Amino acid sequence: MAVISGTSPETPGGDGRRPLRLKPGTEWATAWQRCLALAPEAFRGERVLNLWNGTWQADGRPLPATTPVDGTPVAGPPRLDRDTARHAVRASLDQHRAWREVPLAERKARVAATLDALTEHRDLLALLLVWEIGKPWRLARADVDRAIDGVRWYVDGIDPMVAGRVPLPGPVSNIASWNYPMSVLVHAMLVQALAGNAVIAKTPTDGGLACLTLACALAAREGLPVTLVSGSGAELSEALVRSPEIGCVSFVGGRDTGARVATAVADLGKRHILEQEGLNTWGVWNFTGWDALAPQIRKTFDYAKQRCTAYPRFVVQRSAFADFLAVYLPAVRSVTPGHPLAVADPADDLPELDFGPLINAAKAKELTDHVAEAIDRGAIPLHRGDLADGHFLPGQDLSAYVAPVTLLNPPPSSPLHHAEPFGPVDTIVLVDTEAELLAAMNASNGALVASLSTDDAAAYERLAPQIRAFKVGRGKPRSRGDRDELFGGFGASWRGAFVGGELLVRAVTDGPRAAEERLPGNFPEYHLMPT
């Protein structure tokens, strides 16, 4: 276990900085007691309940869990067995058949009431995100706010989106990664319900349990047809993916699991939305605007690059490498990791950090091992940060933290050469020709986003369409987007219907000629870009 030692809360550290302490009122125990008081139907003693058949159920076997922030024990997921999951899916179908007959005006009113409740308890939801998945306070609140604001946009504009369309024959099953419980998972669930579907969600195994439980409790109180269950993917996939009752499967996660889900839904001919990882790249070609690039580089380290739209790979023209390093290295050296709730004085605001821990100690060790392996095989370390410079409590468990690392030319045998690290590790690849630039930027057979910094507008217009990413920015990062911004992926980074704006509603509804409808997306039988 890694710790910072040698100081105590009563004495200053050896570097002259004031020792840090947990800000009063932000303790996990305090957050948990607030959950018990606010939603006693969903939280009981030291555990959370599963929600199915419209009732909070004390079933499932709770697993022990700790927060990646500092190792504090937190509530673990109450894992269901596959038979109970099947019962939950069948009950959701009954909810779906009733909910799809509810008039749109009533659905809008109930979703709007849910958003009001989420807004009222926004800071508690954000605090749970800090503890459960390690998001810094600023980013945790932004995750909650994006969910609320994004769904409000749909409530205000849903009428023309569903005109002439009907809900799916069965509920939408959601299986999502842990990194954006609110702005991706809850956002999708509420829009799916607004469009007339019952919704099922599996709690991510690695974190977000209490936050999602509280959000679903607030939604269920307003009469939304929500099911929330916990369990292993292998145990529950038969029910949540293959059940004939399911109308659509919405998945966000890695390529290995996504490929198994894609095979299942393709075999069954089931509607699906499968967002998978890809190596998002940033190219630098015939470029001199270094002052504008510097702040963008630091921003790419937000949330330790644990985002589906993070940029862990820079592809740089060799002749510009010295100029690139002159702005890159100061930027990466300024990145600040730390405990998201640590302050020097109880009256201080919570810290403005770039990132906290990775999702767990196992992921931190895996990434550290990949870095060591890449260096052993020839990668050149350009920067290696030190957690001793971070923002931590005295004696704190640091086993889930990784300091920023930058490697030049990771070898092809390394996972860091072709896969997304999902941690604060950058790799840089040098190229001499446009063909090499494109080959390096397309190393993972498809990505969600990419960017290209170039002074030459004509070069951008020529090269951008050849980059295998759904969104390509010029000199600035692209994101998943909100409201009417579309989202999808190329190659292996996406399967099924594209989403965002009206496309999200179309993906979870049927048109008047459903059997003949071709949704924009990446399907086994066709690839159709939105017009």
Q: Tell me, what's the pLDDT at 333?
A: 96
Q: Tell me, what's the pLDDT at 5?
A: 33
* Block residue for tokens 């580089």: 297
- What is the dihedral angle through the alpha carbons of 184, 445, 365, 423, rounded to the nearest 10 degrees? -50
Determine how many CB atoms are found less than 10 A away from the CB of residue 136.
27
- What span, in angstroms and rounded, lies between the C-alpha atoms of 403 and 310? 16
Q: Tell me, what's the pLDDT at 348?
A: 97
Q: Tell me, what's the pLDDT at 17?
A: 67
3-state secondary structure of 15: coil
Q: Tell me, what's the pLDDT at 339?
A: 98
Please say whether the beta carbons of 35 and 45 come within 8 A.
Answer: no
Which domains does the chain possess?
47-276 (3.40.605.10), 281-474 (3.40.309.10)
Q: State the amino acid at position 223 in one-letter form.
A: G
Q: Tell me, what's the pLDDT at 258?
A: 81
Tokens matching residue 482: 């909100």
If residue 48 lies in a helix (H) or strand (E), which one and from where to where? strand 47-48
Q: Tell me the angle at which helices 209-221 and 104-120 cross, rounded to the nearest 10 degrees.
A: 130
- What span, in angstroms and rounded, lies between the C-alpha atoms of 446 and 142? 28
- What span, in angstroms and rounded, lies between the C-alpha atoms of 339 and 70? 8
- What span, in angstroms and rounded, lies between the C-alpha atoms of 394 and 321? 39
Q: State the amino acid at position 299 in one-letter form.
A: K
- Residue by residue, pLDDT tens for the chain (531 residues) are 343 333 333 333 334 568 999 999 999 999 999 999 999 999 999 999 999 999 999 999 999 999 999 999 999 999 999 999 999 999 999 999 999 999 999 999 999 999 999 999 999 999 999 999 999 999 999 999 999 999 999 999 999 999 999 999 999 999 999 999 999 999 999 999 999 999 999 999 899 999 999 999 999 999 999 999 999 888 898 999 999 999 999 999 988 888 888 888 877 888 999 999 899 999 999 999 999 999 999 999 999 999 999 999 999 999 999 999 999 999 999 999 999 999 999 999 999 999 999 999 999 999 999 999 999 999 999 999 999 999 999 999 999 999 999 999 999 999 999 889 999 999 999 999 999 999 999 999 999 999 999 999 999 999 999 999 999 999 999 999 889 999 999 999 999 999 999 999 999 999 998 888 999 999 988 999 998
Query: Alpha helix locations (H) across 40-166?
Result: 82-99, 104-120, 122-133, 137-162
- What span, in angstroms and rounded, lies between the C-alpha atoms of 470 and 492? 12
